[in-house]
Amino acid sequence: LQKRGRFELPHLVRRGAILPILWVDAQTMNLAGRRLDGARITDLNLRVYAAEFRSEFLVREDDGETIAYREGAVARTRVRQQLQGQRLRLTVFPTEGSYVGAPDERRVVARVILAGRIAQAVALNGKSLPGHSSREAFERADSGWYQDADGTLLVRTPLMPVRELKAFEVDWKSSRSGA
């Protein structure tokens, strides 16, 4: 399957699924996230398939190199989503636990599949996030949101402490197709 000029496998997921996604680009060397450029990307990247019922996922992270997780050196971050009326609530709860090298602060980047809905406004902890008119503007910005033509909503927080709650509210309307 070709999408945007490259081969991509389809995602076969149920509504309500919340998937942590490893950042991968041309600089990525392996599954541990090591990079040719030496950069350390600590963003929590999520793909969320919005649904009318509440669903949760527990993201578990460790150092990726040792067996320290056996002694409890693990960070756990709970993520919850639910569509309620004309609003999606996406909550990233404070991270519990830690491991050597765990980030103290990070961005959350969520790709939300809204299936037939057009985002109107996005708030983080009660404060409006800026909407961007293009993917390029979104990628350059520290935080905000942008919705692709295929309906995927991209949301990014500024750098925030991992032990702080991140409560997103997305207000939406039905798409042009009337879904």
Report pLDDT for 11: 74
pLDDT at 145 over 60: yes
156 three-class SS:
strand
Spacing of C-alpha 57 from chain mean position: 12
Q: Is 125 in contact with 89 (CB distance < 8 Å)?
A: no
| Helix segments in the chain, DSSP class H | 135-140
Per-residue pLDDT tens over the stretch 52-96 = 999 999 999 999 889 999 999 999 999 999 999 999 999 999 999
151-172 tens-digit pLDDT: 899 999 999 999 999 999 999 8
Position 29 scores a pLDDT of 81
What is the pTM assigned to this prediction?
0.89
pLDDT in tens, 115-134: 889 999 999 999 999 999 99
Cα angle: 35, vertex 73, 101; to 5 degrees: 35
pLDDT value, residue 1: 65
